[in-house]
Amino acid sequence: MISPSPAFRVRLLAGTTFGAAFTLACGLAGVQPNAPDDLGVADRLLGGTRQAVSLNLFNTADLYFHKGVAHQHSKAFTGRLFQRLQAGITPEAHAHAEGQDSAEILPWLKLACRTDPHNVEAFLVAAFWADTGLHRGDIADGILREAQRLNPSDYRIPQEKGRYAIRRNRLDEATLDVSAALTLLLQSGASTDRQVLLDKAELLTCLGFLSEVRGDSPHALHCFKNTLAIFPERAYIKERVAVLEAGQKPDVSARSLLERLTRQSTDDACQDHDHEQGHEADHDRDGDTDHTTRSMP
């Protein structure tokens, strides 16, 4: 029997190692997540940079919301010469853009949306300021239409459209939007994210009140019970379920509760925002509030 030469052994070992590495590489390549098909050229070229730039533009919008005053951080020392001069040069007072001033926020949000079309939050905040700050519902509708075109499977957009429709007293349209949002949310799968749970509860509550307005008490009861399945501690929903099950008429009308639920103003946004800045940990800890506002990040 002819024994292989040492050189042949080395070549055989190298070939086998290469084959194993090649096979492993092919296998690993096979489990790599594929890039979504809807990525544009800019997405492929810039990737995560777009999101970073978009976030930065979004933060600039926040800076404009505070009239150019950045969030204050705690400092190791205060009152030194340079800080005293700085305080005189750079404004530090707490202020918010109101009325027509809020229009100055919109260019940054528009740029944030352009930079990253999947930054849904930027679209929603832009729509909020157009509607609430400038009272330009037409612009807000346009922004949400564009957002939905670019992000057809995101539930937050029909949810926001539903809120606007309720505030404008277009309840049939609101029912369609809220139902669509709920369907999209359920399609996205079970989530333990707190914001998603809050949104789901809000959608169910809205749908319940909308059903009540239409006179469809059984469906309203179904929605309220689903809300309680998420947040069992919501006392006013419990009371409402008890009243509806007893076949009585509730003291507070569904319409007024709907209005309260979707009421948004710049003041609300400011309070909500400041609250988040100062007491993030306390915010909505017990889940017993479902008053929704669209504030800056």
Partner 1 sequence: MSRILTLAAITWIEMLRRKDLYVLLILLAALLGALLTMNVYGLAGVTGYVKDTGLLFVWLLGWILALNTSVRLLPDEEQKGTLFPLLAKPVSRGALIVGKWLGAWSVSGAALLCFYLTVGLGVLLKGGAFNLLILTQAILLHLAALAVLCSIGIALSTRMNRDAAAVTAYVVTGAAFVLMPRIPAMLTDTEGVAGTVLSVLYYGFPHFELFDLRRRLIHEWGCAPWLIVAEVLVYGALLTTGFLALAWLGYRKRQFTRGAAL
Which stretches of the chain bind partner 1, using CB under 8 A? 60, 64, 67-69, 73-78, 80, 82-83, 85-86, 88-91, 100, 103-104, 106-108, 110-111, 130, 134, 136, 139, 142-143
CB of 43: closest distance to partner 1 in angstroms?
22
Helices of type H across the chain = 6-31, 41-46, 48-65, 81-89, 106-115, 120-128, 137-150, 156-167, 171-187, 194-214, 217-230, 235-245, 254-262, 266-278
Q: Which one, 95 or 230, has the nearer CB to partner 1?
A: 95
Q: Which one, 160 or 290, has the nearer CB to partner 1?
A: 160
Q: Which one, 68 or 297, has the nearer CB to partner 1?
A: 68
In this structure, are residues 293 and 269 in contact, taking their beta carbons and an 8 Å threshold? Answer: yes
Q: Which one, 98 or 233, has the nearer CB to partner 1?
A: 98
List all residues 6 or more positions away from 219 whose beta carbon is below 8 Å from its beta carbon: 207, 208, 211
CB of 157: closest distance to partner 1 in angstroms?
17
Amino acid, single-letter form, for residue 116: D
Q: Which one, 90 or 183, has the nearer CB to partner 1?
A: 90
Q: Which one, 54 or 292, has the nearer CB to partner 1?
A: 54
E-only strand ranges, the chain: none
Cα–Cα nearest to 67, from 100, 94, 106: 94
In this structure, are residues 264 and 294 in contact, taking their beta carbons and an 8 Å threshold? Answer: yes
CB of 95: closest distance to partner 1 in angstroms?
9
DSSP per-residue string spanning 85-104: HHHHHS--------GGGGGG
CB of 90: closest distance to partner 1 in angstroms?
5
Distances (CA, A) of 40 to 35, 63, 87: 11, 30, 46
CB of 293: closest distance to partner 1 in angstroms?
22
CB of 279: closest distance to partner 1 in angstroms?
20
